[in-house]
Amino acid sequence: FQQRDAKFLYSATKAEHYRHLSEPEITFAGRSNVGKSSLIGAVLRSAGLVKTSKKPGHTSLLNFFSLTSSAHPAAISVVDMPGYGFRSRDEWGQFIIEYLSTRKVLRRVFLLIESKVGELKSTDCSFLELAEKHGVPVQLVLTKTDKLKRTSLDKISNAVVREAKEIGPTVVQPYVIHCSAKTKDGITAVQEEILRVCNV
Ligand code: GDP
């Protein structure tokens, strides 16, 4: 990851905008304010990059980034999915269904859950139902872990995985990544997982 450059590609509003992208792809999803922009900034090691795409009007779009490196010719697409709540539920749903049901190159969705919230909300559950329906593998990530003690985190992780597995038994991965964009704890684990699932 160290030698990779992240570049903002564009914001997409419909499948035509991303259909031609054939690189292995991973996506970050989660409720608004879960810490998604901060985490993507830390993972791609470029906070300004995500802020650029966070201009008003851009948050309700799928933002595509490209990770490239001279040492590794294969590029990876990284997608910032709009936080639930930026559009009406129906509108958001159609947009995301179109994405999840057509992206054959999608290797993982990193579904972010705020550790302090400690449970899945109904929007997370709806998202997991969609992922299960379309066979999209989901990696759960607990964010802002600097706010909690290790023992609480372990308890929350177990509860969240159990609940998520009930909704997405075939797609939810059995472990949780703990992350803090503030302390940078767990950022390497996310980077390694991206490279692993993209086979690069
Ligand atoms: P987004 O709406 O999901 O993109 O969330 P942001 O990345 O904009 O973060 C929402 C709020 O949570 C901001 O006030 C951030 O400063 C804060 N935040 C994000 N990540 C962390 C973290 O790892 N630790 C703590 N303590 N706060 C965080």
pLDDT at residue number 88? 61
Cα 179 to Cα 39, 44, 143, distances in angstroms:
8, 14, 5
Ligand 1 atom with minimal separation from the 34 CA: 3
- Amino acid 19 reads R
pLDDT at residue number 68? 84
As for ligand 1, residues whose beta carbon falls within 6 Å of it are: 32-38, 83, 143-144, 146-147, 180-182
pLDDT at residue number 58? 47
Distance 114 CA to ligand 1 centre (A): 9
- φ/ψ of 3, rounded to 5, equals -95, 10
CATH code, domain with 186: 3.40.50.300
Domain that holds residue 56: 5-197
162's CB contacts (< 8 A; 6+ apart) are none
Distance 42 CA to ligand 1 centre (A): 11
pLDDT at residue number 45? 81
Best mutation site among 37, 38, 51, 153 for ligand 1, i.e. most ligand atoms within 8 A of its Cβ? 38
SS (H, E, C) the chain: CCCCEEEEEEEECCHHHCCCCCCCEEEEEEECCCCHHHHHHHHCCCHHHHHHCCCCCCCCCEEEEEEECCCCCCCEEEEECCCECCCCHHHHHHHHHHHHHHCCCEEEEEEEEECCCCCCCHHHHHHHHHHHHHCCCEEEEEECHHHCCHHHHHHHHHHHHHHHHHHCCCCEEEEEEECCCCCCCCHHHHHHHHHHHCCC
For residue 123, with 0-12 CB atoms within 10 Å meaning exposed, 13-18 middle and 19 or more buried, which class applies? middle
- Amino acid 167 reads I
58's CB contacts (< 8 A; 6+ apart) are 11
For the chain, how many structural domains are there in total? Answer: 1
Ligand 1 atom with minimal separation from the 31 CA: 3
Q: Average pLDDT by consecutive 10-residue portion of the chain (200 residues)?
A: 81 89 95 93 76 52 86 84 68 83 96 96 92 97 97 95 98 97 96 91
